[in-house]
Chains A and B, each alone.
Chain A
Amino acid sequence: MRRALGPIDAATPFNAAPSASAAFSTSAALSANPPKKKGVVAKPAARTGRTLRLSKNTRTATARPPAPGERRALRKRVVLSNTNALEVRGLADLSTQNASRLREMGFEGQVLGLSNDSVDALRALEAFKATQGWSLFRRPASLIRRETVELAECMDGVAQQKHVERRMLFGERGGGKSVLQLQAMAMAYLRGWIVVHFPEAKAMTIAHEAYRPINSKDGSTAYIQPQYTARLLGNIAKANHGVLTHMRLSKPPELPVPVQSNISLLRFVELGAGDAELAWPVWRALLSELTTPSQEGTEGLQRPPLFLSMDGVDHAMRHSAYLDTAARPIHAHDLTLIRDFAAHLSGTSPLPNGGMVLAASSASTRPSTPTLDHVLARNEAAAYSPTYTTLLSNLHAHISALATAKDVDLSALHTLPSTPSTQIPATLLTQLKHLRTHLTSLARQNRSPADLLAALAAHAPKLPEWNPYLPLDSRVADCMASVTVQKVAGLSKAEARGMLEYYAQSGVLRQTVTEGLVGERWTISGGGVVGELEKAAVKARF
């Protein structure tokens, strides 16, 4: 109605039938009022894209976009408790009393909880990860596996003899390397050690942290990361405050600001945590304080063993994403924090009060590290080669006593596993299988025992060798040369059973745990790989 009564729109001559002016005259248009803007509803928006227009396809505007850092906080959030999960009756805690007696008390293959104070310490150290399944259970607990018990016994030895255990965990994704490291941290914390943990080497090497060059004592350039160091010191202070508060400085530190001479180490570390400019000298001084020999009689100068750990250490064993002034990549070992850790891992920096340096590789965010891979394979094979040699010498003794080759007993070789396991590394397993084939064929041909002995001699253990046509990262090779490497492979069936029973008691596995179920889930999970076991038993619904 309103439109019909209004002035006739000269811009649309087809509607303007009773117009007095000629169709091509522009004077009416010029004298007319400017055309009114039409409402939005009058013209549908032009079709864009090829999607069908349905109400469910339109994107509704949310109230507000996420604030800076909000999505990251959500991604990094670690939830350690779930009120919907059942409380497991009689779940014992890993405690000061039982941490050194896990085997005697029969905890191997059982799940033990973590006490509140160790949870706080571990959370301060960022030992829990968002990708781990802590949020499925009432409170944090972990399986005490064979490797955990071995680590606990190793720690007992360290505490008694004040030696240093330098070890690197590796293995496939979801194998439990990080959780084993977490358990080691918890046990070190319960023993009253100082625990220093670098939660993710990747975060230190992908050039997301501020860095600055310094001249180190040997004349080379190293790079400090002031903000990261400050946050690391904050974590150390939070996690170790009970121990650090009773310790004081033994010598005046080299700091740009004056410090009270008998300041407690806790206050000293907090000083570095509060000021990024002081963080690096404070870290240096802290490390030198913790690595001075303990003075047992003097109050405040006793030094407990030190536990140093780093997760995702592959990223620290290659060039980092940082660039030097000529825009060449900086080796991760030139970053001072990683350099300090690597020095302790390789054993060039001693720990006079004993301790453990535990590195864990990461299989989910794995960069290409050919040198590290080679050194891991070589060290693993070297650790097994005495067993291999014993096996050969036993066979040698057996064959030497034989009259004919037909009587040879190869049962020791016939019991080899089909796939490489924690005990037998891949390279040596292949060699043993070749030996078995060779000896079997010789025995079948009824050759003389001397031929069998010659075959034995030809199959001495061969360690993996580096391809000389490829560049070797000598810093990584030197650092890892004498490190014990430990493959974290799948659980045994007994351990898998303990895990599944814990799932059932927590109410996340709603089946009776039988031998059949354990066997099935163990197989589905690639031979007891913990992460896969969790997927197979808890996250997947059959």
Chain B
Amino acid sequence: MCTSEPEVRMESECDHFRVNDFNLSTANVHPFPLAAMVFIFGVNFPESQLVSRSLKSFYGIGPNVCTKLMAKFHIHNTARIGTLGDRQIDSLAAELSTMTLENDLRRQLQDNIKRLRDMGTYRGRRHAMSLPVRGQKTRSQNMTARKLNRVERRG
């Protein structure tokens, strides 16, 4: 009895308004169960997540690469993982597997720095000393360099 009362009140309120059906704009907000996951390139993404956000979560995919990837497979800006077709997901995964991403990309970066260090270049030494590499001054501020510049750079 208690549960039915608010419903009755809602209906009588609705009689006063003629509310649009929002059919072109608001349909299918979340047509999929939120728990469902989609597996792309070794990561499980919830179906409700934006494709762009999911792609940008990979190391090596920023806004630019993401835009190009989505354009390549005709994925629109507001597409969510759950709305992608199987073929789109497969081709996206295949494309990702051809790219240098995540640990491979990090390793590439470290190799580059290591090469500089091994050659004994100034840049390599500066990396090893956690100091600015490109001629910045070090008298007062070099926090960024101290944080980032090292031979085993994280990314």
Contact = CB atoms under 8 A, between A and B. Distances in A.
A123 B26 contact: no
A72 B71 contact: no
B96 to A, nearest CB: 16
A123 B21 CA distance: 8
Contacts of A73: 22, 26
Given A69-B29, A210-B83, A327-B68, A124 B21 contact: yes
B28 A227 contact: yes
A123 B74 contact: no
A336 interface: no
Contacts of A327: 67-68, 71-72
Nearest to A123: B20
B76 A78 contact: no
Contacts of B20: 76-78, 123, 126, 128, 130
Interface string B99-126: 0000000000000000000000000000
25 contacts: A69-B29, A72-B25, A73-B26, A76-B20, A76-B26, A79-B18, A80-B17, A81-B17, A81-B18, A119-B18, A124-B21, A126-B25, A130-B20, A207-B77, A208-B78, A209-B76, A210-B76, A210-B79, A227-B28, A235-B23, A323-B70, A324-B71, A326-B71, A327-B71, A327-B72
Nearest to A84: B16
B146 interface: no
B10 interface: no
Contacts of B30: 68-69
Interface residues of B, number: 26
Say what secondary structure dominates the interface of chain B. Answer: loop
Contacts of B68: 327
B71 A325 contact: yes
Interface residues of A, number: 42
A79 B17 CA distance: 6
Contact of A126 (B17, B24, B76): B24
A231 interface: yes
A83 interface: yes
Interface in B18-44: 18-30
A68 B29 contact: yes
Contacts of A81: 16-18
Given A76-B20, A209-B76, 18 more contacts: A68-B29, A69-B29, A69-B30, A77-B19, A77-B22, A80-B18, A81-B18, A83-B16, A123-B18, A128-B20, A130-B20, A203-B25, A208-B77, A212-B74, A223-B74, A227-B28, A234-B23, A327-B68
Contacts of A211: 74, 76
Contacts of B78: 207-208
Contacts of A274: none
A209 B20 CA distance: 20
Nearest to B68: A327
A69 B17 CA distance: 20
A46 B71 CA distance: 48
Nearest to B17: A79
A232 B24 CA distance: 7
Interface in A61-83: 68-69, 72-73, 76-81, 83
Interface string A202-243: 010011111111000000000100011001101100000000
B17 A76 contact: no
Nearest to A228: B24
A234 B27 CA distance: 12
A109 interface: no
A522 interface: no
Contacts of A207: 76-78
Contact of A323 (B18, B21, B67): B67
Given A81-B17, A126-B20, A128-B20, A72 B76 contact: no
